[in-house]
Amino acid sequence: LIRLRDRLSRSQNVFGRGLLGLLARDRLDEDTWEEIEDSLITADVGVEATREIVDRLRERTRVLGTRSGTELRALLAAELVNALDPELDRSLRATPHDGTPGVVLVVGVNGAGKTTTCGKIARVLIADGRTVVLGAADTFRAAAADQLTTWATRVGAEVVRGPERADPASVAFDAVRRGIETGVDTVLIDTAGRLQNKIGLMDELGKVKRVVEKHGPIDETLLILDATTGQNGLEQARVFTEVVDVTGVALTKLDGTAKGGIVISVQRKLGIPVKLVGLGEGPDDLAPFEPSQFVDALLG
Ligand code: GDP
């Protein structure tokens, strides 16, 4: 497991040094509270969540009277964790059941990190003693199947791919069939994320979903979201939640942004639990998302 703390250094500047510094001021006057609010919004926490967090912090610092650094850290941590709905079930539903493989459909816009995340998830599962088939149903981008094949070789998974420009649904269908035939634990299906128009996406992903479900239910539909795209990315992501039943989010590229607060907006605005975080380009740069661990790392 990679060290979360090392990879979130950009966000730590805002949350740890920045916010804790502001809270530690001798006088918490209106200007200071405004600065606190601004930092949270700049870090992509979202307006509504920011207001709630700030209101509660104001109330609690007032009650607290004198404040030590440790107390302030604990206070801020508690509010951030609370904003992340700590009770949600965040386990990835990828395990086999009734003798058939767990099926994970991976969706999201191009460039969000779908192929990479498929590879990383396969890596985690295989390290855990499981067997995996990767389905290269992103047949739109020419290099996508090659990229997934490289990952498969690297982590020791089998890949199922079709001819160039093959029908994504038929590749997805074949991947699940192969997974059932060979008795693997998990089938991960990488899809294309063209977003020119919602109808096209709906047709394509809808068909992939229907065809895969001929084999049995999809256990997890994982939306891959690039953390660096901020509130815009969130709007794009919403389209996917309208097209397929998204059951979890993997937030990628958190290593490259100071806007780690996006994890709070994502969960609030989409109403879907963040289950995984991407923290780099390497095979081990994926971590399960656990609110208190994450917040702890965010505060540095
Ligand atoms: P796809 O089009 O959605 O399949 O996206 P890719 O998996 O091809 O990823 C697009 C780019 O983002 C690649 O260069 C990846 O290496 C990079 N990438 C993916 N996840 C992460 C991450 O968590 N951190 C960083 N820094 N880069 C990532």
What is the three-class DSSP state of 145?
Answer: helix
CB 296 within 8 A of CB 77: yes
Instruction: State whether the beta carbon of 221 lies less than 6 angstroms from ligand 1.
Output: no
Instruction: State whether the beta carbon of 283 lies less than 6 angstroms from ligand 1.
Output: no
Residue owning the nearest CA to atom 12 of ligand 1: 113
Q: ipTM beyond 0.85?
A: yes
- 235 vs 263, residue with greater confidence: 263
Residue owning the nearest CA to atom 14 of ligand 1: 281
Helices 230-243 and 262-270, axial angle in degrees (round to 10): 30
Is the pLDDT reported for residue 137 higher than 90?
Answer: yes
Is the pLDDT reported for residue 126 higher than 70?
Answer: yes
- pLDDT at position 194: 74
Ligand 1 centroid – CA 286 distance (Å): 12
Instruction: State whether the beta carbon of 233 lies less than 6 angstroms from ligand 1.
Output: no
- pLDDT at position 159: 98
Ligand 1: nearest atom to the Cα of 224: 3
Q: pLDDT digit string (tens) for 30-54?
A: 999 999 999 999 999 999 999 999 9
| pTM, to two decimals | 0.95
Q: pLDDT digit string (tens) for 196-249?
A: 677 787 788 999 999 999 999 999 999 999 999 988 889 888 989 988 999 999
- The pair of structure tokens assigned to 66 is 């004198």
Instruction: State whether the beta carbon of 42 lies less than 6 angstroms from ligand 1.
Output: no
Alpha carbons 80 and 40: distance in angstroms, whole number: 10
Sign of the CA dihedral with 261 first, then 264, 268, and 274 last: positive
Residue 136 bridge partners (DSSP): 190
**Listing from the earlier edge strand, what are the strands of the sheet with 286-288?**
158-160, 132-137, 186-191, 102-107, 220-226, 248-252, 274-278, 286-288
> Candidates 146, 281, 284, 285: which one to mutate for ligand 1, based on the most atoms within 8 Å of Cβ?
281
Residue owning the nearest CA to atom 13 of ligand 1: 113
Instruction: State whether the beta carbon of 114 lies less than 6 angstroms from ligand 1.
Output: yes
Instruction: State whether the beta carbon of 284 lies less than 6 angstroms from ligand 1.
Output: no
For the chain, give the mean pLDDT.
93
Ligand 1 centroid – CA 290 distance (Å): 21
Is the pLDDT reported for residue 78 higher than 60?
Answer: yes
Count the residues in the chain. 300
Is the pLDDT reported for residue 195 higher than 70?
Answer: no
- The pair of structure tokens assigned to 51 is 């207001």
Instruction: State whether the beta carbon of 113 lies less than 6 angstroms from ligand 1.
Output: yes
Q: Residues forming the annotated binding site?
A: 108-115, 190-194, 252-255
Q: Residues forming the annotated binding site for GTP?
A: 108-115, 190-194, 252-255
